[in-house]
Amino acid sequence: MSTTMKSAQEKFNKVDTFQKFKDKASEMGEEISQKAHDVKDKALDIQENIASYVNENPVKTAGFALLAGVVLGLIFKKSKKA
């Protein structure tokens, strides 16, 4: 094989490798985008479920919030004394 042919083959191999890399990066980008969309949808579902629960159980929700506030208050009060 002549030097020119070897040089042309090497350039072709570099271009082919770059194209494969580019294709793989594009594929991975699409997968990441789809997963991000799925996570966003799941977060919106969770947000809707929480809002629905709060609307259906306002007294219970307020009680949990009050209890959480008291517990956190006690934890932080103790940590200031230490």
Per-residue pLDDT, 71? 96
DSSP 26: H
Cα distances (Å, whole numbers) of residue 39 to 7, 10, 43, 51: 48, 43, 6, 18
Are 61 and 54 in contact, with CB atoms under 8 Å apart?
yes
Angle (CA) 25 26 28, round 5°: 65
pLDDT per residue as tens digits for the range 3-48: 777 776 777 677 778 888 899 999 999 999 999 999 999 999 999 9
Determine whether 58 is exposed, middle or buried from the number of CB atoms within 10 Å of its CB (0-12, 13-18, 19+).
exposed
| Full domain range(s) for residue 42 | 3-81
Work out the average pLDDT over 46-74: 96
pTM for the predicted model, two decimal places: 0.56
Confidence of residue 53 (pLDDT cuts 50, 70, 90): very high
Work out the average pLDDT over 40-64: 97
Per-residue pLDDT, 66? 97
Report the number of distinct structural domains present in the chain.
1
